[in-house]
């Protein structure tokens, strides 16, 4: 079968399903579900989130010039979706969804306790683009949930976290681990080869 041309569209998937936190901890605050989120630069660490100006969270972020990016898990799928389809003008999303929040270290916005990773972000620039404005931000702190850390290495365990992904209006769990960055050109260690064979054996069964 061949390939077909479609009209231009933002079909870059999958994307993270992020809960953006904004406002002030203990005062006016809100959660916004967003997937128009991504990495911009490694050094300095920078990211972006694109938000429609009519969204309730837009004014909060623009006023304070900071926000939190809270990664979500499969366990948080319902809360993540709900926070994206109702407005913070009408609902206290944290209370309605029974989410636990905590103060951030360097920003006024709250962070989600159950989030595997939360990034504290300070806006550097707002770029009007059309339907959305892009908030270009510096990542000034990262808070990791100890529940998802590898006890041996202290690193973040993606498989244990069960991160939630978004693709064209639908949510998905991330699939199985395939290899580390660079594995295609790296000599396989005995342990890695053992894991690969064990994985292939489970698939055959």
Average pLDDT over residues 3-31: 93
Q: How sure is the predictor about 153, in pLDDT bands with cuts at 50, 70 and 90?
A: confident
Distance, CA of 15 to CA of 164 (rounded, Å): 9
- Residue 197 reports pLDDT greater than 80: no
Angle at the Cα of 119 from the Cα atoms of 115 and 121, rounded to 5 degrees: 145
pLDDT of residue 36: 97
pLDDT of residue 2: 92
Angle at the Cα of 20 from the Cα atoms of 16 and 12, rounded to 5 degrees: 30
Identify which of 110-114, 150-154, 157-161 has the greatest average pLDDT: 110-114
Q: What is the pLDDT of residues 71-120, one digit of tens each?
A: 999 999 999 999 999 998 999 999 999 999 999 999 999 999 999 999 99
User: What contacts 112, CB < 8 A, 6 or more positions away?
Assistant: 19, 21, 31, 68, 70, 99, 100, 101, 118
Round the average pLDDT of the chain to a whole number and report it. 91
Q: Report which of residues 199 and 204 the model is more confident about.
A: 199
Fold category of 15-173 in CATH: Pnp Oxidase; Chain A (2.30.110)
Q: Report which of residues 173 and 189 the model is more confident about.
A: 173
- Residue 193 reports pLDDT greater than 70: no
- Residue 202 reports pLDDT greater than 70: no
Q: What is the pLDDT of residues 48-64, one digit of tens each?
A: 999 999 999 999 999 99
The two three-digit tokens of residue 76, written as one number: 């948080």
């Amino acid at each position: 079968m061949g390939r077909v041309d479609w009209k231009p569209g933002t079909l870059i998937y999958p994307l993270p399903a992020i809960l953006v936190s904004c406002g002030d901890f203990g005062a006016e605050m809100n959660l916004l579900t967003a997937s128009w989120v991504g990495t911009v630069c490694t050094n300095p660490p920078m990211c972006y989130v694109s938000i429609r100006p009519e969204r309730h969270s837009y004014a909060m972020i623009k006023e304070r010039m900071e926000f939190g990016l809270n990664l979500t898990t499969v366990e948080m799928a319902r809360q993540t979706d709900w926070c994206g389809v109702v407005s913070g003008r009408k609902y206290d999303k944290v209370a309605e969804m029974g989410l636990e929040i905590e103060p951030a270290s360097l920003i006024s916005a709250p962070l989600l306790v159950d989030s595997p990773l939360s990034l504290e972000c300070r806006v550097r620039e707002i770029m009007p683009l059309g339907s959305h404005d892009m908030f270009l931000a510096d990542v000034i702190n990262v808070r990791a949930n100890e529940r998802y850390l590898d006890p041996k290495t202290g690193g973040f365990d993606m498989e244990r976290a069960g991160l939630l992904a978004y693709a064209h209006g639908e949510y998905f769990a991330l699939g199985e681990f395939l290899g580390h960055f660079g594995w295609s050109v790296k000599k396989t260690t005995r342990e890695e080869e053992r894991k690969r064979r064990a994985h292939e054996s489970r698939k055959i069964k």
